[in-house]
Amino acid sequence: MQLLTKVRRIIRWIVLLFFGSTILSVFAYKWLPVYVTPLMVIRCVQQVRCGETIRLRHYWVPMEEMSIYMPVAVMASEDQRFLEHRGFDLVEIENAIREQVSGRRKRGGSTISQQTAKNVFLWPGRSWLRKGLEVYFTALIELVWGKHRIMEVYLNSIEMGDGIYGAEAVAQWHFGRSASELTRPNCALVAATLPNPIKFSSKEPSPYMLRRQTAIMKQMRHIDVFPAK
């Protein structure tokens, strides 16, 4: 009986510690820059294991110091209903389920909010545990951060090339300019690589990337400039 009581007490403290620490970290990142993410650490470890030089290029800048076309491009490419949903795009989720049931090519249903939660707080993977935590963190950042901060963190932390994270780093290393100087075609090209920024490059785009860039630019016409903070 005493053992059971101790186990319950330990579980209770573990639960309290989990919720307390995660909620605290979400509130902290509402104002603090995100200088490192789990994916950055994982990539660096992978590079060391392969005997390679560590590649980590990441410069945090406020969204006001990025091109106005950058958030428009990623919304056009990744999540066109970003400003409308509350973290989960039910339309895309329904479409993804329908395609999976019919045996057609699987599509991702993750929103920018979900990708941000995964990038900042979690690790890559497809387990049910990670997906459950992703839902939890997505709901938290939607509640605490709001759309402007979610987009700002996303554009600063998303992988945009081999060892390159965020709009400022990709602007400097692939275009030789700052994030504020990126043109509309530049932003569309960066957004075109996001499904797989290791395989696809905005510095040396393939014909396929250029076609994606054109398609994204067409979609950008239907998306307004991201609202000011």
Q: CA 100 to CA 40: how far, in whole Å?
A: 31
Number of domains making up the chain: 1
Tell me if 80 is assigned to some domain: yes
Tell me what pLDDT residue 30 has. Answer: 96
Tell me what pLDDT residue 196 has. Answer: 92
Tell me what pLDDT residue 104 has. Answer: 57
Tell me what pLDDT residue 105 has. Answer: 53
| Whole-structure pTM value | 0.90
Tell me if 228 is assigned to some domain: no
Mean pLDDT by 10 residues, the chain (229 residues): 75 87 95 95 94 94 96 95 89 70 61 95 87 95 96 97 96 97 97 93 94 96 84
Tell me what pLDDT residue 124 has. Answer: 84
Tell me if 135 is assigned to some domain: yes
Tell me if 28 is assigned to some domain: no
Domain of residue 215, CATH code: 1.10.3810.10
Q: CA 225 to CA 73: how far, in whole Å?
A: 10
Q: CA 155 to CA 119: how far, in whole Å?
A: 11
Q: CA 92 to CA 98: how far, in whole Å?
A: 10
Tell me what pLDDT residue 7 has. Answer: 74
DSSP state of 190: H
**Structural domain for 128, as ranges:** 60-220
Tell me if 229 is assigned to some domain: no
Sheet of 57-58, strands arranged across = 57-58, 164-165, 159-161
Tell me if 32 is assigned to some domain: no
Tell me if 179 is assigned to some domain: yes
